[in-house]
Amino acid sequence: MQSMRWLPLEANPDVMNQFLKQLGVCSSWQFVDVYGLDPELLSLVSRPVCAVLLLFPVTEKYELFKAEEEEKIKSHGQDVDSSVYFMKQTIRNACGTIGLLHAVGNNKDKLDFENDSALKKFITESSKLSPDERAKFLERDESIRVTHESSAQEGQSEAPSLDDKVDLHFIAFVHVQGHLYELDGSKLFPVNHGPTSEDSLLEDAIEVCKKFMQRDPDELRFTVVALSKA
């Protein structure tokens, strides 16, 4: 049962970058908009890219696919590298922050942090915990909660009330040890989407994003942002 609830975070690179800055992440890497999925528009994204975030609508078609995917992985199994940083989501509407934590947690060796970075401290202290324990750890972390709340008010659109039903969801894609992982705190485990590399992460993640869009062709509420070298 989900007891805590936060305001949803907007899929806005400026909001996300300010969020990371407030938690002590230096600006050597920045979130940027991905304006389209064709090669010409992807070429406009500065490289390298170390994480991709997708905001998408949670529809009946998606829920059906998610259940089928879970059963398939349970029956066939998958390889997940032990170094993948993954956490469950127990706080309503915290998927944006969890997406950012997944992006940072799997790229902490690339990113630069302030000496007193609250986010680096969180990642370091939770690195040995299980995905469920990390979720509980987040519930108790005041610095991230306060930063999330202020960031949720910063977007271009009016923040919904805590009681509003939100049917949009953030997930992250990262490269770990030669594989592309989809990290979604509402799922039981990371999803391994096959081989990738630092050079091809953006294109490989976009191919998975396209499948989300193809499952709901009538939906327009998709947003993609990339964490790229500034």
Q: Is residue 140 pLDDT above 70, yes or no?
A: yes
Q: Is residue 70 pLDDT above 70, yes or no?
A: yes
Q: Which of 102, 148, 169, 179 is catalytic?
A: 169
Distance CA 101, CA 92 (A): 16
Q: What is the mean pLDDT of the chain?
A: 92
The CATH code belonging to domain 4-229 is: 3.40.532.10
- Report domain extents, the chain: 4-229
- pTM score, two decimals? 0.93
Residue range 97-107: mean pLDDT, rounded: 97
Phi, psi of 219 (to 5 degrees): -90, 140
Q: Which of 50, 95, 179, 209 is catalytic?
A: 95
* 175 annotated active-site: no
The tens digit of pLDDT for each residue in 155-205 reads 554 444 444 455 899 999 999 999 999 999 999 999 999 999 999 999 999
CB atoms within 10 A of CB 190: 24
Residue 83 class from Cβ within 10 Å (0-12 exposed, 13-18 middle, 19+ buried)? Answer: exposed
pLDDT for the residue numbered 166: 56
* 76 annotated active-site: no
pLDDT for the residue numbered 84: 98
